[in-house]
Amino acid sequence: MTAPAETAVQANDPSFETLWDELVWRGLIHVSTDEGALRELLDGDPIVYYCGFDPTAPSLHLGHLVQLLTMRRMQLAGHRPLGLVGGATGLIGDPRPTSERMMQTKETVAEWVAELRGQIERFLSFEGDNAARMTNNLDWTSGLSAIDFLRDVGKHYRVGTMLKKDAVSARLNSDAGISYTEFSYQLLQGMDFLEQYRRYDCVLQTGGSDQWGNLTSGTDLIHRVEGVSVHAFGTPLITNSDGTKFGKSEGNAIWLDPAMCSPYAFYQFWLNTDDRDVAERLKVFTFLTRDEISEYERLVRDEPFRRAAQKRLAFEVTATAHGIDATNKAIAASEALFGKGDLAALDAATLQAALGELPNATLATGTSVIDALVATELVSSASEARRAITQGGVSVDGAKVASDDEKITGSLPGGVSVIRRGKKSLAGVFLR
């Protein structure tokens, strides 16, 4: 499982006539304001644009990664990004289609704002003529009175139009209904665009297509208040070809925070991409060129057993999110676990993260291999464990188990052990 020596250079593909053409080819435009005007805008003099991220959790996830990389592509074209973290809107919560969000404390939201800001900053450049800037909508809302908000912002909105927004209408037709708090969210996001237009001459907002109602809230408000036309486009919600929701693994989101999703687990997620999805993932999540991706499409078609496209995808995205060093450690762990490397050479943190993705058990020091095989469910009974050992099909930490009275010693870095039954059945043991 050999990876490239380094990631693809972060650059837009020069084979496209315009940035807009490349964004369309990569499948990043699902809905937008005037397409012709946007193409001209992005192909002209540098503009200021923004994308907002609400602190509804302590980490961003793969859905946000689409936005971060889209922002980066536009910055590489010379445009200037504003990364907004919603210190105010995070206190309210964007309406979900099914139920009201649970409000977090102000202290929690402030902590999450700091976490998200740090994550966003890793994907953008803060140097040069088009250096990125971070903003927080709490800056222009914290001192705003309710009366001023209603007079200066609320008077420009029509309730009938607000009721037609997809998220609002879905909630109105649900048993949960919608509170006035969440109903008002679109006014706050509209004001975000207006404020950034006034402060930074921001003329474009991006976001997921599920946010289209909130995106157009801002374009409409600026047109009403300032009498000018600004723009927005929404990226598609990415789903797998089998119809499952992208970015979910056994019910858990794939987070960008390595403490919530280890680089090893992150790498494995991309490595397991279906052949039917891998080309589209390369377009959206990497900076590989059109020609390079075309070659990987050929490899998927002609030599699918090599999984070359999945390996390149996993390497590129993990390196972008976590750095090359963490990526190489994840690859080394993957190779070692499946017999192509030295388990003892792995660093403890990566090995423990990898074992957490395998069937595993936490056992007392000195537990027998037989009991460990049963506890990790590699076998269903002690007698089956003894037969497997007698047949020479069990190893611990890379060494074949010769006797059924051997113990688990935790000889690997971090005091853990790896049990293998046969060629492909693996489990981890954490000792207490």
pLDDT, residue 1, reads: 43
Q: Which residue has the higher pLDDT, 379 or 203?
A: 203
User: Mean pLDDT highest for which of 180-189, 248-257, 313-322?
Assistant: 313-322
pLDDT-based confidence at residue 70 (cuts at 50, 70, 90): very high
Work out whether strand 252-253 and strand 248-249 pair parallel, antiparallel, or are unpaired. Answer: antiparallel
Q: What is the pLDDT of residues 214-259, one digit of tens each?
A: 999 999 999 999 999 999 999 999 888 887 878 765 566 899 999 9
Distance of CA 244 to the CA centre of its chain: 16
pLDDT, residue 240, reads: 86
Q: Longest Cα pair distance anywhere in the chain, in angstroms?
A: 83
Is the pLDDT at 49 greater than 80? The verdict is yes
User: Rounded CA gap, 332 and 339, in Å?
Assistant: 11
CATH 1.10.240.10 boundaries in the chain: 240-347
Query: Could you tell me which of 222, 360, 329 has the C-alpha nearest to residue 265?
Result: 329
Write the class of the CATH domain 28-235. Answer: alpha beta
In this prediction, residues 9-26 reach a mean pLDDT of 96
Is the pLDDT at 114 greater than 50? The verdict is yes
CATH 3.10.290.10 boundaries in the chain: 358-432
User: Residues with Cβ < 8 Å from 83, sequence gap 6 or more?
Assistant: 50, 51, 53, 71, 117, 120, 121, 124, 132, 133, 134, 135
Q: What is the pLDDT of residues 162-174, one digit of tens each?
A: 888 777 888 888 8
Is the pLDDT at 316 greater than 60? The verdict is yes
In this prediction, residues 310-336 reach a mean pLDDT of 94
CB–CB of 368/409 below 8 Å?
no
Is the pLDDT at 179 greater than 90? The verdict is no
Q: What are phi and psi of 202, to 5 degrees?
A: -75, 130
> What is the CATH number that goes with domain 358-432?
3.10.290.10
In this prediction, residues 87-114 reach a mean pLDDT of 88
pLDDT-based confidence at residue 342 (cuts at 50, 70, 90): confident
Is the pLDDT at 338 greater than 90? The verdict is no
pLDDT, residue 169, reads: 83
User: Rounded CA gap, 311 and 274, in Å?
Assistant: 12
Q: Whole-number mean pLDDT of the chain?
A: 91
pLDDT, residue 75, reads: 98
Q: Which residue has the higher pLDDT, 92 or 323?
A: 323
pLDDT, residue 135, reads: 98
User: Residues with Cβ < 8 Å from 372, sequence gap 6 or more?
Assistant: 361, 363, 396, 408, 417, 419, 427, 429
CB–CB of 277/267 below 8 Å?
no
pLDDT, residue 47, reads: 98
Starting at the edge strand that comes first in sequence, how are the strands of the sheet with 425-431 ordered?
Answer: 360-363, 425-431, 416-421, 394-396, 399-400
**Backbone dihedral region for residue 428 (phi beyond 0: left; psi -120 to 50: alpha; all else: beta):** beta
Q: State if pTM tops 0.85.
A: yes
Is the pLDDT at 158 greater than 80? The verdict is yes
In this prediction, residues 15-29 reach a mean pLDDT of 97
Write the class of the CATH domain 240-347. Answer: mainly alpha
Is the pLDDT at 176 greater than 80? The verdict is no
CATH 3.40.50.620 boundaries in the chain: 28-235
Q: Which residue has the higher pLDDT, 75 or 164?
A: 75
Cβ-based neighbour number of residue 25 at 10 Å: 15
User: Mean pLDDT highest for which of 58-72, 247-261, 354-368?
Assistant: 58-72
Strand partners, 253: 248
Amino acid at site 259 = A
Q: Which residue has the higher pLDDT, 246 or 112?
A: 112
Lowest mean pLDDT of 96-100, 155-159, 414-418, name the range: 96-100
Q: Which residue has the higher pLDDT, 176 or 225?
A: 225
In this prediction, residues 277-297 reach a mean pLDDT of 97
